[in-house]
Amino acid sequence: MGSNKVLSEAEIQEIEKQYDEIIRVCPRCQSDENKALIRKAFDLACEAHKEMRRKSGEPYIWHPIEVAKIVAEEIGLGTKSVICALLHDVVEDTDYTIEDMEQQFGPKIASIIDGLTKISHVFDKESSLQAENFRKMLLTLSDDVRVILIKLADRLHNMRTLESMPAYKQIKIAGETLFLYAPLAHRLGLYTVKTELEDLSFKYEQEAVYNDILQKLKETENKRVEYINKFSQPIIDKLNEANIDYTITGRPKSVYSIWKKMQNKNVPFEEVYDIFAIRVVFNPINSNPEKTQCWMIYSLVTDIFSPKPDRLRDWVSTPKANGYEALHTTVMGPEGKWVEVQIRSKRMDEIAEKGYAAHWKYKGDGADEGELDKWIKKIRELLTNKESSALEFLDEFKMNLFSSEIYVFTPKGQIKRLPKGATILDFAFDIHSAIGNRAVGAKVNHKLVGLSYQLQSGDQVEIITSEKQTPQKEWLNIVTTAKAKSALKTSFKAERRESIEKGQMIFIDKLAELNRKPAAPIYRKLFGAYGITTKSELYIQIGMGTITADDIKKIVLKRSQSKFVRYWQLRVSKTTFRFGKRISPKKDAEQKINKKIPLILAENINEDQYIIAKCCSPIPGDDVMGYITPNNSVIVHKKTCPKAIEIMANYGDKIVTAEWTKHKLMASLARIQLKGIDRMGLVNNVTKVISEELAVNMRAVSFESNDGIFFGFIELYIHDTDDLNNLIKNLKKIKGVDSVVRIEMND
Give the integer Cα–Cα distance in Å for 697 and 702: 15
Find the angle CA(29)-CA(34)-CA(40) to the nearest 5 degrees.
120
Q: Is 293 exposed, middle or buried (0-12, 13-18, 19+ CB in 10 A)?
A: buried
Q: In whole angstroms, what separates CA 252 from the centre of its chain?
A: 22
Told to judge if 93 belongs to the known catalytic residues of this protein, a careful annotator would answer: yes
Helices within 51-144 (DSSP H only): 62-69, 79-86, 90-93, 98-105, 107-118, 130-139
Give the integer Cα–Cα distance in Å for 703 and 716: 15
CB-CB contact of 18 with 6 (8 Å): no
If you write DSSP's letter for every residue of 440-496 in order, what string do you get? EEEEETTEEE-TTPBP-TT-BEEEEE-TT----TTHHHH--SHHHHHHHHHHHHHHH
Give the integer Cα–Cα distance in Å for 604 and 248: 60
Q: Is 517 exposed, middle or buried (0-12, 13-18, 19+ CB in 10 A)?
A: exposed
Dmax over CA atoms of the chain, in Å, equals 95
CA-wise closest residue to 180 among 133, 222, 145, 111: 133
Catalytic residue among 58, 73, 93, 274: 93
Told to judge if 92 belongs to the known catalytic residues of this protein, a careful annotator would answer: yes
Find the angle CA(664)-CA(666)-CA(671) to the nearest 5 degrees.
100
CB-CB contact of 174 with 144 (8 Å): no
Task: Quickly count: other Cβ atoms within 10 Å of residue 565's Cβ.
Answer: 10
- Strands 245-250, 576-580: pairing kind: unpaired
For the chain, the residue count is: 747
Catalytic residue among 14, 21, 92, 144: 92
Give the integer Cα–Cα distance in Å for 393 and 381: 11
Catalytic residues: 92-93
